[in-house]
Structure 1
Amino acid sequence: MPPKRKSSEERGGAAKRPALQCTNKQHLYLLLDDWERGYSVRRLDVDAFEPDDAGADDLPPPERFTEPPVARIEAEAAEYESERNFVSHGTKIFAMQPGEASPAIPAFDASTLALSLCPWPFSYRQYPLPFFASAAGKLLAFTEFDAAYLGDQPPCGSKAPWSWTAIKARSPFYASQVRCYALHPDGRTLFVSAESLRSHRSGTFSLDTERLEWRRHGDWLLPFSGQAYFDAELEAWVGLCSERGDSAGHLCSCDVAPVAAEFTRPPSWKIGKEKLFRKNPQLHLGAKLVYMGRSNFCLVEFLLHKDDDHPSSDQPRRRVLDMTTFGLKYGKEGQLRTTLQRSRARKMYNRPHDYGGSLKPLAFWL
């Protein structure tokens, strides 16, 4: 008898729904705008992905999610760049702009599969293109005018409020102009690169999240798009290259900038040889790199469905998620290379509306 094929659930989807369990094992969490009132939360086991032939031209068709989501979060879709409104902090995913009518900000806890609420960070509830980051146990929030951090959630039974604290030091950049960011391996220093027409607000800056003080490091920008991650084995920050130029779709490793130095030279970096985005660039919407620890990563690429790529589909509603896991290492000549142990999964869903949304996947490793 031929060996029994894995079920769709074992490959990251499911025909049968097992009982949801709280587990210490980390998973890939996806937030999908497939619900008219907000987002559904999907949990995937990357160990169940299929082996990936990196050189294969024929891709398997994407599968639909057949299980109900593990949770749903009510939140309005922003007109653009909805990915800016979601951030992971600890074991939670926060929907930072659920809508002006919402009394509080919903947060999904991956460790308990529970939803909780936290207060709004500012007196106003509409802040276009904000910047959020998690560092040193603080959830940091930045708008064009204000900054604040969220402290620890009070223990169960406590009467103390869960509250935000204003950061007095004014951000040296505009939140809407943040291009990339990375946490220093010291665990307390957040590096941010921002680009602005005003020269004094362009460059790379660092925030000491304990002293809440900013430092300017120079007019240069880190070479990433979005979040980069420090990997101890590579001794470098790793992220997707800036989407400008021929490096789009490649990975980049960058030496860690020194914390104490001001007006330093830009750190050296290396661009990976392989282009990781799939072919058919006309279908590509965006991508996010997720760090899984120990030089292991998952690239989540956001695509239009190939059958929606025609003139009559003004605002196609089908979205495809192409997910590939891989390891990274330096080759004999010091070049950044992916390892051969790659796996993948392809999923598809329908959006209930044609407006707003994200051009980058909302993916988190928790």
Structure 2
Amino acid sequence: MTKRKRSEERGCRTARRPRPAQEPKQHLYLLLDDWERGYSIRKVDVEAFDSDTNTPPKRFTEPPHVRSWNFISHASKIFAMKAKEASPAIPAFDTHTMSLTISPWPSCRAGYLEDRTEYLADPPPYDSNAPWSWSTINSPLPFYNVQILCYALHPDGRTLFVSAGSRRKNLPSTFSFDAERLEWAHHGNWLLPFAGQAYFDAELEAWVGLARDKESSGYLCSCDVPPVAAKLTSPPSWKLGQDKMFSKDSELHRGAKLVYMGDSKFCLIESLFHKDDQHSLSDLCDGCPLRRRRVLHMTTFGLKYNKVGNLQIMLRQAHACMMFKRPHDFTEPSLEPLEPLAFWI
């Protein structure tokens, strides 16, 4: 007699296990300054990338628009952190619902970036009438925002490591912030080897990011994760990748952004001037048009340590590129970010 019949004779049946809910498919989102009144949000499917580096720029559907100078992402949303004196609230674009929501600025927003820190707590329950509000962190920033060199989230999910200049001793240092205790800790007068954001790769058991040193620009590097418990630690060991991803010395190069897609897979987005634009930024004069056209080269790849422990690109690479034109003739370089605005959501 089968097990199923025996169970039915005893008056019970084996319940079917519910299928786990499928998580929404993630995409690469690019924010492009190609609109007279704001930025375009472009949704890119990296699985559609072609292995041929000579593929023409792809066309994307007409996107929604927002306007800002600073962008951050959290969960499924992209926040447009507009200048605090120009916006009464912070718009957020939800990539799942394709809609805009609004979150408030902190009441003390004038100067809060340097003198104190505010954080936006989790939103209240859906059926609650409580407002979505900010809270103050009593622990002051041990550095100035303009001194930040790189940062990475610890695999514990609650500790953020930041390498920056120190307010007190004026020495480059590495700090960590505990998001549960809301406290900063000083780990030593040393710096993580990255430029900008780095990401924890569980398979490599290390942080991965773009190398910061001038001699190593264009390369990836991996770094051991320092312990959180110890306040003062020695610099962690790190390795420089063997594959050069881009040339920072090129006259066309503007900036690059590394995005982690999970499972040891990454996407590198490089921003360049268009090669056919004849005008150079070094030759600016009254009436000289600026180079408006931008080209984004996107490369997806995987990372592994080889048999001798060196960091290498081991998985298949795929490429894509797209071009857009800025509608402005801004002459102030600070009005256009060098690093591509890209998020994996």
- The residue number in structure 2 matching 1:256 is 225
Give the 3-state SS of the residue equivalent to 2:25 in structure 1. Answer: coil
- The residue number in structure 2 matching 1:161 is 131
State yes or no: 1:357 paired with 2:332. Answer: no
Distance 1:198 1:152 in 2: 32
Give the 3-state SS of the residue equivalent to 2:251 in structure 1. Answer: helix
Distance 1:342 1:63 in 2: 17
Quote the offset at 1:200 in angstroms: 4.6
Call closer, same or farther: CA 1:305–1:62 in 2, change over 3 Å.
Answer: farther
TM-score scaled by length of structure 1: 0.81
User: Are the equivalent residues in 2 in contact too, given 1:180–1:226 (CA < 8 A)?
Assistant: yes
Call closer, same or farther: CA 1:63–1:98 in 2, change over 3 Å.
Answer: farther
Call closer, same or farther: CA 1:123–1:300 in 2, change over 3 Å.
Answer: same
State yes or no: 1:40 paired with 2:40. Answer: yes
- The residue number in structure 2 matching 1:225 is 195
Quote the offset at 1:120 in angstroms: 1.1
Quote the offset at 1:64 in angstroms: 5.6
Quote the offset at 1:123 in angstroms: 2.8
The amino acid across from 1:33 in the alignment is D
Range moving further from structure 2, 352-361 or 41-50? 352-361
- The residue number in structure 1 matching 2:205 is 235
Quote the offset at 1:102 in angstroms: 1.9
Call closer, same or farther: CA 1:260–1:280 in 2, change over 3 Å.
Answer: closer
State yes or no: 1:325 paired with 2:318. Answer: no
Within the candidate set 67, 86, 98, 1:74 is matched to: 67
Call closer, same or farther: CA 1:197–1:191 in 2, change over 3 Å.
Answer: closer
Q: After superposition, what is the alpha-carbon deviation per residue over 1:147-180, rounded to whole angstroms, capped at 9, x for unaligned?
A: 1111112344532111111111001111111110
Q: After superposition, what is the alpha-carbon deviation per residue over 1:272-317, rounded to whole angstroms, capped at 9, x for unaligned?
A: 0111015871111001100000100000001111112534765211
Quote the offset at 1:348 in angstroms: 0.5
Distance 1:298 1:121 in 2: 34
Within the candidate set 141, 147, 157, 1:177 is matched to: 147
User: Are the equivalent residues in 2 in contact too, given 1:64–1:349 (CA < 8 A)?
Assistant: no
- The residue number in structure 2 matching 1:288 is 257
- The residue number in structure 1 matching 2:270 is 301
Distance 1:202 1:162 in 2: 36
User: Are the equivalent residues in 2 in contact too, given 1:196–1:202 (CA < 8 A)?
Assistant: yes
C-alpha root-mean-square deviation of aligned residues, in Å? 2.0
Call closer, same or farther: CA 1:186–1:197 in 2, change over 3 Å.
Answer: closer
Quote the offset at 1:98 in angstroms: 4.9
State yes or no: 1:339 paired with 2:314. Answer: yes
Call closer, same or farther: CA 1:66–1:292 in 2, change over 3 Å.
Answer: closer
Q: Which runs of 5+ in 2 are unaligned?
A: 1-22
Quote the offset at 1:196 in angstroms: 5.2
Distance 1:238 1:147 in 2: 27
- The residue number in structure 2 matching 1:207 is 177
The amino acid across from 1:73 in the alignment is V
Relative contact order (alpha carbons < 8 A, sep ≥ 6): 1 or 2 greater?
1
Distance 1:122 1:228 in 2: 32
Distance 1:98 1:114 in 2: 21
Q: Which runs of 5+ in 1 are unaligned?
A: 1-22, 53-58, 78-84, 128-141
Give the 3-state SS of the residue equivalent to 1:308 in structure 2. Answer: coil
Give the 3-state SS of the residue equivalent to 1:47 in structure 2. Answer: helix
- The residue number in structure 2 matching 1:25 is 25
Give the 3-state SS of the residue equivalent to 1:179 in structure 2. Answer: strand
State yes or no: 1:65 paired with 2:59. Answer: yes
- The residue number in structure 2 matching 1:18 is none
User: Are the equivalent residues in 2 in contact too, given 1:65–1:349 (CA < 8 A)?
Assistant: no
Distance 2:113 2:240 in 1: 32
User: Are the equivalent residues in 2 in contact too, given 1:287–1:360 (CA < 8 A)?
Assistant: yes
Quote the offset at 1:100 in angstroms: 2.6
Quote the offset at 1:61 in angstroms: 6.3
Quote the offset at 1:38 in angstroms: 1.4
Report % sequence identity.
59
Distance 1:44 1:98 in 2: 28
Give the 3-state SS of the residue equivalent to 1:143 in structure 2. Answer: helix
Distance 2:79 2:54 in 1: 33
The amino acid across from 1:330 in the alignment is Y
